[in-house]
Amino acid sequence: MRRPTLTLLLALLCTLTARADIPGFAPGNTAEANGLAIAEEADRRGQGFGDSRSTLTMTLYDGRGNSATREMSGKTLEMPDDGDRTLLFFENPPDVAGTAFLTHSHGERDDDQWLYLPALKRIKRIASSNRSGAFMGSEFSYEDLGNDEVEKYDHRYLGEADVDGVATYQLERTPKLRSGYSKQIVWLDQAELRAWRIEYYDRGDRLLKTLYPRDYEQYLERFWRPLTMEMVNHQNGRRTVLEWADYVFGLELRAGDFERDALRDIR
Amino acid sequence: MRCATFVSLLVVAGAGAASDWELDAEVALSARYFLQETDDPRQDQFAADLYGQVDAFRDWDQGRQRFAVSVNARGDSDDGERSRFDVQEFYWRYRWPRAEVAVGVDRVFWGVTEALHLVDVINQTDLAASPDTEDKLGQPMLRLTLRPRWGTIDAYVLARFRERRLPGTAGRLRGPVEIVADAARFESGDGRSHVDYALRYSHYVGPVEFALSQFTGTARTPAFDLIGIAPVPQIAPVYFQTDQTGLELTYVQGNWLWKLEAISARDPVQRYRAATGGFEYTWSSVFGNADLGLIAEYQYDSRNAGEVLAFDNAGLFNDDLVVGTRLGLNDFAGSEFLLLATRDRDNGGRVVTVEASRRLGSQWRLALEGQHFSAGDEADLLTILAREDYWRLSLTRYF
């Protein structure tokens, strides 16, 4: 009786510590090929969630003991042959309540973005270069919150690394499009290829920010979402914490719910 | 007994429904100070006003149906025309996946440019509330929206005409003339009951967005009749019939946002054209986290002032260049700053607008707004606003 239990336990342990099976990833390949292979596999694993909805609390810390809180809710729709569509709706502070932000992210071209201003009932197109601008006064840029489409970067595999006791793959990715960064260093855990840490380097190649995703939860028995993300800005001493809650998947949202004109109905 | 049951059922249903209402409100206290006195003893340099607004809406039937209400009211220390109540929204809407119908009072914004809104024609402007033409009055309407894959079509039946609110006798920003809004005259025999129609088709393809619109009915912008001369010239609004075809165009490329609005419309003597267009260029992450925008727009109008009536303000922005800057500090206080300067290339007349605001704590916002007017020559319509430069400070509490 002991033997099968042990086998089961071993099997379980193997699963837990197993490396992700990554097609195209092999020690002999070039760093570029391996980097792309890992990025594509991580992307593939994130695909198929359909749609989701969640609430988001954002806390800004200025490094001098002051903090401020923003609350919003959002929904995301996965598009079959394009990047995801995201609708963010601001709820707090009350002077910006009702403001909404719609993004159609694309692979190799700039995202389409709109802002809805409730006081005038006006929908405004936004220049997508605002990608590198600060999101609602936080240390996150629009770019950081956008979808990490594989096509947006050149990838390079840097090797294996240990991050707080977690075995990870370390990648360097260089933005192909207009970006606020010269490069990013990404650590993905070997078991599930979830981002464990991301370093952002400014255009002068100095370390600007570090992102710490935490509290990963699995949904629909497949998709991992970090419920906390902390962004630390090393150059200005400020940091921002994002906390997600109330994730719901399978809402059967339609592309029409994410068209520009859906903004005027949002309130 | 049966009646009591019914009433209690209603109360229970009402309480249940009440919990689904989304409510927002704001209260603002403002002070306006005009830098110069006028010759009219009925006018003051200083005025204060209290403004309140309540918005509520409720969705049901899985979001297919909505009922929305938005009302506002202002009490002004001087100007009775600024002390008014308005229903901005009071509508019911039903939505299908690719269509929508709405009945009631609502606000609709058309347009893309920053300094001048040419195409925007559904709602009447409240010029008594603010000279920036961005305060609007609720418009009773029936709206049908269709959303085929190739765009959005909105059709409107605008049930009742709303007159422009204009500064009253004790108010400022009317210049050395007295506006007698009660003596308004209409080209159409139906007067305020004239039913107007509007149709708009809009779509976007990648970086290009466009809209085509058609409006037929009573023009929102009045011309003015001279109806008296003592103690100061008295003028009354005249609302002509018009039909207006509008075009809106936006093109986004990197940091550039290109915009164009153009109209072709009719007044009693002619068909005229007007256009405004330009760009907004945005730098992100300047001075740390701030966003800095540069705005430049040109304004064209084929009309000359006074072609229809002596006091018509047509063609005020006939050959004008607007430059401006928008700064968003992206700080905790959400500090924002906007500067717009309009200059008439013909006569040198100028309008300069400054707006700045920041949050105080999490529920208050402090805003400062100023405008300066200077006429180019004696014939310039801006002459009547030459003594109306002002600063306005307001503190708003949001709930």
Q: Give me the tens of pLDDT residue by residue for chain B, a chain 399 residues long.
A: 444 554 454 444 444 454 588 899 999 999 999 999 998 889 999 999 999 999 999 999 988 999 999 999 999 999 999 999 999 999 999 999 899 999 999 999 999 999 999 999 999 999 999 988 899 999 999 999 999 999 999 999 999 999 999 999 999 998 888 999 999 999 999 999 999 999 999 999 989 999 999 999 999 999 898 999 878 899 999 999 999 999 999 999 888 999 999 999 998 888 999 999 999 998 887 887 788 999 999 999 998 776 766 666 667 788 999 999 999 998 889 999 999 999 999 888 999 999 999 999 889 999 999 999 998 887 787 888 889 999 999 999 999
Mean of pLDDT over chain A: 87
In which band, very low, low, confident or very high, does the pLDDT at A9 lie, cut at 50, 70 and 90? low
Cross-chain CB nearest to A93 (options B109, B282, B363): B363
- Give me B34's structure tokens: 């005009």
CB pairs under 8 A between A and B: 112
B328: distance to nearest CA of chain A, Å?
A: 9
Contact (Cβ atoms closer than 8 angstroms) between residue A181 and residue A203: yes
Residue A115 has pLDDT above 50, yes or no: yes
pLDDT surpasses 70 at A154: yes
pLDDT of residue B283: 87
* Closest A-chain CA to B329: A137
- Collect all residues of chain A within an 8 Å Cβ-Cβ radius of residue B94: none
Angle, vertex CA A62, rays to CA A59 and CA A68, nearest 5:
35
- Interface mutation target, options B135, B250, B285, chain A, most CBs of A under 10 Å: B285
Closest to B275 measured CA to CA, from B285, B255, B261: B261
Flag whether residue B280 sits within 8 Å of chain A, measured between CB atoms.
Answer: yes
ipTM score above 0.95: no
Evaluate whether B273 touches B118 at the Cβ level (below 8 Å): no
Using the Cβ of B206 and the Cβ atoms of chain A, whether some distance falls under 8 Å is answered with yes
Q: CA of B252 to nearest chain A CA: how many angstroms apart?
A: 6
**Which residue, among B51, B57, B66, B50, has the nearest Cα to B103 in the 3D structure?**
B66
Please determine, for residue A32, whether its predicted confidence score (pLDDT) is greater than 70.
Answer: yes
Please enumerate in sequence order all residues whose Cβ is within 8 A of that of B201, keeping only pairs 6 or more positions apart, or say none. Answer: B151, B152, B153, B211, B212, B213
Would the CB atoms of B332 and A137 count as touching at under 8 Å? yes
Number of H helices, E strands in chain B: 1, 22
Q: How far apart are CA B165 and CA B146, in angstroms?
A: 33
pLDDT of residue A5: 54
- The encoded tokens of residue A220 equal 């629909």
pLDDT per residue as tens digits for the range A219-229: 999 999 999 99
Q: Do A95 and B359 touch (CB under 8 A)?
A: yes
Note the pLDDT of residue B234.
Answer: 93
Return the pLDDT at A8. Answer: 52
Q: What tokens does B247 get?
A: 């075009």
Question: What is the pLDDT, as a whole number, of residue A15?
Answer: 46
Taking contacts as CB-CB distances below 8 angstroms, the residues of chain A near B398 are: 93-95, 97
- CA closest to B280 among chain A residues: A127
Residue A17 has pLDDT above 60, yes or no: no
- CB–CB of A130 and B98 under 8 A? no
Average pLDDT rounded to a whole number, residues A179-205: 93
Closest chain A residue to B209, measured at CA:
A125
Q: Is the pLDDT of residue A29 over 90?
A: no
Phi, psi of B219 (to 5 degrees): -60, 135
Residue A3 dihedral angles phi and psi, to the nearest 5° = -60, -55
The pLDDT, as a whole number, for residue A6 is 52
Residue type (1 letter), B152? T
Residues 56-85 of B with CB under 8 A from A: 57, 68
Per mean pLDDT, which range of A47-61, A106-120, B34-48, B253-267 is the poorest?
A106-120
Q: What is the pLDDT of residue A261?
A: 87
Half-sphere exposure of B46 (CA within 13 A, CB side): 1
Q: How close is the nearest chain A Cα to the Cα of B183, in Å?
A: 30
At residue A185, does pLDDT exceed 80? yes
What average pLDDT score do residues A179-201 get? 93
Among A2-6, A30-34, A195-199, B158-162, the range scoring the smallest mean pLDDT is A2-6
Contact B125, B220 (CB under 8 A): yes
Looking at the partner chain, which of B68, B147, B365 has a beta carbon nearest the beta carbon of A95?
B365
Q: Find the residue in B nearest to A202 (Cα).
A: B285
Higher pLDDT, B305 or A77: A77
Q: Is B256 within 8 Å of chain A by CB?
A: yes
Is the distance from CB of B233 to CB of B176 less than 8 angstroms? yes
Query: Quick check: A141 and B206 CB within 8 A?
Result: no
pLDDT at B13 (0 to 100)? 46
User: Which of A93, A137, A178 shows the shortest C-beta gap to B330?
Assistant: A137
| In the block, residue with structure tokens 């309009």 | B342
- Assigned token pair, B94: 């039903």
Alpha carbon distances (Å) from B76 to B71, B127, B148, B367: 17, 14, 47, 18
Q: Which of B26, B257, B398 sits opposite A125 (nearest CB)?
A: B257
How far B310 CA lies from chain A's nearest CA (Å)?
Answer: 32
Distance CA A168, CA B341 (A): 56
Of A66, A94, A236, the CB nearest to B332: A66
Q: State whether A93 and B398 contact (CB < 8 Å).
A: yes
Neighbours of B60 (CB within 10 A): 11
Mutate to test the interface with B, among A108, A240, A261 (most CBs of B within 10 A): A261
- Contact list in A for residue B359 (CB cut-off 8 A) is 93, 95
